[in-house]
Amino acid sequence: MKIYTKKGDNGRTSLLNGQGVLKTDDRIELLGTIDELSSQIGLAKVLAGEQLRTELTHIQKNLMHIMSGVADPMKKDYRFNEKETETLEQWIDRTEDSFPRIKDFVLYGGCEQSARLDVARAVARRAERRFRLVAQKFVADKKAMQYVNRLSDYLYVSARYADYQAENNRAEGVRQEVIKDVMKNMKGQD
């Protein structure tokens, strides 16, 4: 079977429940934004340590579940479990407790990992706005919307932690260079 079906050539597509809609439908826009969010999270995973990579993979699976619920909101199997939002909150709290987070405005791009997480966070915010629009016009899972809101908080805190770690690594690198220079000078004085 070929990847292209040509069914969408006329600007229409179908939701999971078989309902035909325009590709510009707000639900399709939301699905595309969540897909983009998952892709950005995948890009952030490339540089992530084991724990962050595991958490981001778990989030991507949740986003796939949320997409199913957007594409077929009446199917009960696709209802989102609020425990997943509680898990995100626990991860946020754990991360915030592990470093002195700056509470001022942030200039993004402190390191590559944080930059990737911040791009994902910005897309999560857009997904949240699109979710609200879908909720106004159609049926939307409020628990899934809450998760997407919390996800942007998780990505923000994770990005700030990545900046913190990168700054500590840079400081340690400078310290090691100073030690090397001192040791080199001491050997030269013998």
Residue type for 45, please? K
DSSP 3-state assignment of 47? coil
- Structural domain for 53, as ranges: 7-189
Q: Is residue 42 part of a domain?
A: yes
CA dist., res. 131 & res. 140, Å (int): 7
pLDDT of residue 129: 97
pLDDT of residue 180: 60
* pLDDT tens-place string over residues 5-19: 777 778 888 888 888
pLDDT of residue 178: 55
Count of domains in the chain? 1
Q: Is residue 136 part of a domain?
A: yes
pLDDT of residue 182: 61
Q: Is residue 121 part of a domain?
A: yes
pLDDT of residue 161: 95
Q: Is residue 2 part of a domain?
A: no
Q: Is residue 114 part of a domain?
A: yes
pLDDT of residue 93: 97
Residues 153 and 92 sit within 8 Å (Cβ to Cβ)? yes
Stretch 140-146: mean pLDDT: 95
Q: What is the CATH number of the domain that holds 115?
A: 1.20.1200.10
Q: Is residue 1 part of a domain?
A: no
